[in-house]
Structure 1
Amino acid sequence: MTAELGSPNRRNCLWWTLQVLMKNVLGFWLRYRARGLDRIPELGGGLILSNHQSFLDPLLIGLPLQRPVSFLARDTLFPIPVIGWILRNTYVMPLSRDTGGAAGIRETIRRMEEGFLVGVFPEGTRSHDGKLGDLKPGFAALVRRSDLPIYPVGIAGAYRALGKGSLFLKPCPVCVVFGEPIPPHQIAPLKQRGREQELVETVRNAIAACQTEAEGWLQNRANRQA
């Protein structure tokens, strides 16, 4: 546990307050729902890997959890008044492109080893159509350098609510599915040199399964309301 971050298992006051406020807002406006929360343990570090549809995604992932999640954001956002303060106090880590992301990787590893959940979007950018794109291999460095579980997540509907290029939040239903964890022993053989693509495909398939489940859940809700 670090003094500046507090406990990896308990939310600070700002995080808790934002959760209370946004649960009501997004629950009403987006009819936001999440499932599979029992797959996220109360204790221990790990890597949350999710598809990326919207600027809302970090909030959608962190909103239903009873413990904080650290995400990465551009370091240029941190000097901005108010925004920087919010980022620092909601466990966000600065990512500098000048250093090639090396400092961000080190900080990510450090937080996971100290028991934090860290969220990463391995596509590297938001989807323009809501479909899961190719995963950038950079996230594999985090996997190889840690011996912690991977928690795949699938988001559906967020690109309609606030997709790439959108300026306003639309009242579209959104679902998030937390998938079955991938334990370290299952990933260990894929860390070997020459098996990088297998590692990427294993993670991509897990995320895709979660997204498919989330999309099916949305469709079932739409059918019931028709």
Structure 2
Amino acid sequence: MTSKTHPSGAPWRNFYGRFKGKGLRKSQEAFLNEDLAGLSPGPVGWEENPERKPIDLEACFGNRDIWLEIGFGGGEHMVHQAARNPEAGIIGCEPYINGVAMLLGKIREAQVENLAVYPGDVRNMFDVLGDNAISRAFLLYPDPWPKKRHHRRRFVTPEHLEPLARVMKPGSIFRVATDIPDYVRQTLEQVPRHGFEWLAERPADWRVPWDDWPSTRYEQKALREGRTPHYLTFRKT
């Protein structure tokens, strides 16, 4: 039995999240039309890059260290880190176009220039990143998929963690934030199996936010609803 493929020959990947929500404001449509193409890291998806050739990160960011944010939501964390760390080049992947439009508005306001935006599935980005390309990665309040039969859709599964481990440099840092206890369990079970060590020695190491952490709207919602955020830090071995 052969696996399902796109017409280009690229593997067919099921996607379970949302691509678009409520209608965009005119200003957000303008951000997408005017700014998004200029922030592209290069040809990523199978439509643009059917041969999945590696993207030229040096052309995009010069000799900066490359960071990756997986599902940036509304983009507040990504813009905060870009402004705080101009020596880093940050790639954000987010298939939800409303979130992409929100990020573009924040980029205009903050006037940061060390960002690239891919409005799609991070698995496509993994296809075109070279080995040991990423110095830091962020997975912040990912879709929890709370039903047990949907746990295989979570990011912290081999389908995602194997390519993540390949593209991350030895010694690089992977941060995960979530307010879902079972997501914490699955993260601590799966991530160390893929070449990462959990950097925790005492409870404060996962209970207290990182020093450079800006509270996001997802975290604020969790706190309002009585859920406890966890801040997990891993290092690529």
Structure number with higher helix proportion: 1
How does the TM-score come out when normalised to structure 2?
Answer: 0.35
Structure with greater strand share of residues: 2
* TM-score computed with the length of structure 1 as normaliser: 0.37
